[in-house]
Chain A
């Protein structure tokens, strides 16, 4: 039987769990599975290689595409390899051999602003969901069960997004109370 050289794994992460995602990539790299691509934020393609002690870090970019070359250039110059991108998420890695705990953010304000960018995104859809639910409730046309289903789905989305806002606020508070680095 031939050795498997690549595999795609489905894994669902919620936005406030990005550090758990990083630990997962690091554990995979330790077993020789190196991240190669991310599809739809849930499908991760890994390629088989030598097991290596790697640090994985995720950034949430502000999305100015015109400046992407400079953005990636600064990470590359600092020794970080850009592995994948999905939506606003950017996936970077670097070997841990020279620095056992390398970080892409080296102070509290910049770490907080990353989560504020995520928060802005989640808040937008949270309020959009509330507005949309209001529209559905006010609409005169009602399609019976289909309408009920739309309302329930919409409310569910609002609850999940609201929970996301809450969790992100906790992450930000934890950074504020944590060590400066």
Chain B
């Protein structure tokens, strides 16, 4: 779908927080699960504050990058579960490719410099 592709491209580049949220939602998770996952996959290098996370989630739901698929009852509290949409998945893939291409250029040039 051309429309999906151009919509996905228009979303780039992502903020680091947005990237971490999308990459965490490759599996459906609730807010707390996203925060824990971000700390874990980044080796505690990154952390998402609750204000930042909540803002990102509401923005992404509104933009159709993610959806709320249900609720989970945990410790007497209802937590909403989020999952990627087709658009969200496409955005994540394109952003990963974009970052990889940049990193590749950086490595090549820096490799040349430090190699001297």
Interface residues of A (CB under 8 A from B): 57, 59, 62, 64, 67, 69-71, 73-78, 80, 102-107, 109-110, 113-114
Per CB-CB distance, the 7 closest pairs between chain A and chain B, nearest first, are: A77-B32, A104-B51, A106-B49, A78-B50, A110-B52, A74-B31, A75-B50
Task: Report yes or no: A80 in contact with B50, Cβ–Cβ below 8 A.
Answer: yes
Give 6 A-B pairs besides A73-B31, A106-B17, A110-B56 with Cβ atoms closer than 8 angstroms.
Answer: A69-B78, A70-B79, A73-B79, A77-B79, A107-B16, A110-B55
- Name B1-60 residues within 8 Å CB distance of A: 15-17, 31-32, 35, 47-58
Take A74-B32, A76-B77 as given contacts and tell me if A104 and B55 are in contact as well, using a CB distance cutoff of 8 Å.
Answer: no
Cα-based distance from A109 to B15 in the complex (angstroms): 8
CB-CB under 8 A from B78, the residues of chain A are 69-70, 73
Q: A70-B80, A106-B17 are in contact. Are A114 and B51 (CB under 8 A)?
A: yes
Q: Which residues of A contact B79 (CB under 8 A)?
A: 70, 73, 77
Indicate if the CB atoms of A105 and B31 lie closer than 8 Å: no
In the bound complex, what is the Cα–Cα distance between A113 and B17 (angstroms)? 14
Chain A contacts for B54, CB-based, 8 A: 70-71, 74-75
Partner of B77, one of A73, A102, A106, A107: A73
Report the minimal beta-carbon distance from B16 to chain A, rounded to whole angstroms.
7
Interfacial chain B residues near A102, Cβ < 8 Å: 49
Residue of B nearest to A109 (CB): B15
Interface centre among B16, B53, B78 (most CB of A within 10 A): B53
Could you tell me if B52 and A105 are in contact, using CB atoms closer than 8 angstroms? yes
Report yes or no: B15 in contact with A105, Cβ–Cβ below 8 A.
no
Point out the residues of chain B lying under 8 angstroms from A62, CB to CB. Answer: 58
